[in-house]
Structure 1
């Protein structure tokens, strides 16, 4: 199978590594909140016909490795994912809105995005195994 995808007028291979964090990089993306974030990202990506290659919701940030069709603007895609996920999470977990510093914002402004070229497999492994490596590093620091 070719690594390229086809549209009616073009063939494409547009792969991106995207990272974004909760406001103030709070460590809240675990348990039910993390599961809801994962579920929402998958649903909204499917709506835009964005293929998720790897998704890793860590306690204080999200890694996405995605193939985005060229007809979808990256900023629109990230805005949709962050905006609609925030609405869903804040409606489902109303206790998050009660904190005076939180307000109606769930994600920090901005995001990091990187194009993926020939090193796609290396980035995929990084996204998939980063959490395990961070936990191991934290445990080693305790000793």
Structure 2
């Protein structure tokens, strides 16, 4: 078992996310699919989210991730899907 360690905690939290394109249009092909994959990887690395498995299909994305215990699932998806990934906070 691969456990993750915090300052005072040991945890193994995994989430399986599936999200689809609008109207399930098949737009995640070729260069677009590669760019989506790269952006998801960059975002997950920036927020200490470990991608265990991931698949980018023509009209949907599967992600199995391990995340820190202080991040809610909704927060993870907001970071992965949102355009506010690289906003600076004042």
Which of the five TM-score ranges fits, normalised by the shorter chain? Answer: 0.7 to 0.9
Contact 2:15 2:73 in 1 (8 A): no
Contact 2:3 2:11 in 1 (8 A): yes
Per-residue deviation at 1:73? 1.8
Q: Map 1:1-143; keep pairs closer than 5 Å.
A: 2-84=1-83
Q: Deviations over 1:101-130 (max 9, x none)?
A: xxxxxxxxxxxxxxxxxxxxxxxxxxxxxx
Aligned to 1:84, the other structure's residue is in SS state coil
Distance in 1 (CA, whole Å) between partners of 2:72 and 2:42 is 18
Query: Relative to total residues, which structure has the larger strand share, 1 or 2?
Result: 2
Structure with higher Rg: it is 1
TM-score relative to the length of structure 2: 0.87
Distance in 1 (CA, whole Å) between partners of 2:68 and 2:79 is 15
Distance in 2 (CA, whole Å) between partners of 1:84 and 1:72 is 18
Distance in 2 (CA, whole Å) between partners of 1:70 and 1:38 is 24
Gaps of 5+ in 1: 86-143
Distance in 1 (CA, whole Å) between partners of 2:72 and 2:56 is 23
Q: Which residue of 1 aligns with 2:87?
A: none
Query: Relative to total residues, which structure has the larger helix share, 1 or 2?
Result: 1
Gaps of 5+ in 2: 85-90
Contact 1:20 1:63 in 2 (8 A): yes
